[in-house]
Amino acid sequence: MEFYEHVSGARLHAAYVRQGGVAFDLPHGFLDDIFKWGTQFSRVDEIEEVVTGNRIWKERTIGIGPVTAKQALDYSFSGVMLRGSGLRGI
C-alpha cells in the first residue's frame, strides 16, 4: 500500500490504474525504493520454509474451502474457480 500511495498519490482508491494502462509514469527513484525495501529480506526461500513447514499455518490453510464440482456449478463459478473444482472444458 505504501508503494501504491507513492505512485498514485492516493491510498484508498484506484486513481492510478486506468483503462489501457496507468495515469502517469513512476516517480523518479521509485524502483530504487522498491529495491531497498526488498533487500531487507535475507532470503525468500528461508521465509517460505518457515511458513510452509509451520504446523499452525498448515492447519489454517490446507483443505479449507474445498468446492465440489456440483457446488461450483450451483454457484455459477467460472474460469479458474471452475477448473479448481475439477471441471474442465466447460
- Cell readout for 54 is 509451520
Mean pLDDT of the chain: 83
Cβ-based neighbour number of residue 72 at 10 Å: 19
Mean local confidence (pLDDT), 38-67: 83
Map out the domains of the chain as residue ranges: 2-61
- CA separation for the pair 85, 51 (Å, rounded): 26
Which neighbouring-strand residues pair with 17?
A: 22
Proportion of the chain above pLDDT 70, given as a percent: 89
The single residue listed with the C-alpha cell 522498491 is 34
- Cell readout for 48 is 517460505
